[in-house]
Amino acid sequence: MADYFKLNPEYYQVPWHFTFKGVYLAKYVRKDTLERPELYEIKSDDIFVVSYPKSGTTWTLELAQLIMNKGDPTYSESESHFDRIPFIEFNPERYPKRNGFTAMQNIESPRLLKSHLPIHLFPPQALQMGCKVIFVARNPKDTVVSYYHFYQALPSLYGDYKGDFSGYLKLFVNGQVVYGDWFDHTLGWYNYVEENNGLFLKYEDMKKNPSETTVKIAEYLNCDLSDEIIDEITGRCSFARMKMSKLINFEEVEGRPFLRKGAVGDWKNYFTVSENEAFDEVYNERMKDSRLTFDWE
């Protein structure tokens, strides 16, 4: 690791964070199911959207849910995104209705489920049963910028981070943000999905080719949809329309919108030239054995 990102261990810690099997996590991630993942009653037709936070998860889930309902928006418009789609490891004190473990028991199959867990903490029976997995990844520079804003938007989950972006970038590079090291997380899932017929999506491709993305997800979920329905779903999930939706761009994010900028390349407004060079050095070293690449603008 470049000395550049050396971090004073006292710099910032999310209140009540804990580390489980090497991964930095927050209190809202339930511990009992990390220790005993067999507690999850997984069904073979469960469909998972998995990601590192801030990679386009909500977007992908909205697309998948509309696709599963053949474009009919009734269910998607019935209640908040966060109440409709169980987030399996989430157990927030403040929103008990969003306890993913119980929520997933109360929806009909096939169930659409969300997780940010790295692969080695993910319930292994879901992988053994061959559940469908859509993994969405985003270039880490835009991811860290989005995450920095998210920390500030949600002090009830992440505490009172008052540092600047440079300090946050150090936390990110050191894997001291919730869900840990981006490289381990992304490469772990990339390798699994490539070898096991999962669907690997990239945020930048989704932005570039939104209709193609909808088609890819529909094909993966074996949903045969007309071009008209594909266009309708793609349009409903545009940044502008999702940002307008009170069911998605939820007001509870303490004073700040959940859908912020939705852009590729915003990192250029945050990284200094030397931060960018040092980050590239870390990136090139950590990704050197992988075929995975990203677009940066």
Q: Catalytic residues, which ones?
A: 116
Residue 150 beta carbon to ligand A3P: minimum distance, rounded to whole angstroms: 7
CB of 1 to ligand A3P, least distance (A): 25
User: Using an 8 Å Cβ cutoff, are 172 and 180 in contact?
Assistant: no
As a whole number of angstroms, the distance between CA 256 and CA 215 comes to 32
Q: State the helix-helix crossing angle for 165-173 and 273-286, rounded to 10 degrees.
A: 10
Cα dihedral: 179, 139, 48, 243 (round 10): 100
Between 58 and 91, CB nearer to ligand A3P: 58
Closer CB to ligand A3P, 40 or 87, in the complex: 87
At its nearest, how many Å lie between ligand A3P and the CB of residue 51? 5
Least Cβ distance, residue 9 to ligand A3P (angstroms): 27
Which positions touch ligand A3P (CB under 6 A)?
Answer: 51, 53-59, 142, 146, 149, 237-239, 242, 259-262, 266
Q: How many whole angstroms separate alpha carbon 169 and alpha carbon 156?
A: 21
CB of 288 to ligand A3P, least distance (A): 26
Distances (CA, A) of 18 to 34, 91, 96, 168: 12, 15, 21, 18
Q: Name the minimum Å distance from CB 145 to ligand A3P.
A: 6
| CB-CB contact of 7 with 170 (8 Å) | yes
Cβ contacts of residue 9 below 8 Å, gap of 6+?
none
Sequence-separated contacts (24+) of 270-279 with Cβ below 8 Å:
270/145, 270/148, 270/165, 271/141, 271/169, 272/166, 274/4, 275/4, 275/166, 275/169, 276/141, 278/2, 278/4, 278/5, 279/140, 279/141, 279/169, 279/173
Q: 164: how many CB neighbours lie within 10 A of its CB?
A: 10
Kindly give, in sequence order, each residue whose CB lies less than 8 Å from that of residue 231, ignoring residues fewer than 6 positions away.
Answer: 211
Give the whole-angstrom CA distance, residue 43 versus residue 131: 8
Using only C-alpha atoms, the chain has a radius of gyration, in whole angstroms, of 18
Q: How many residues does the chain have?
A: 297
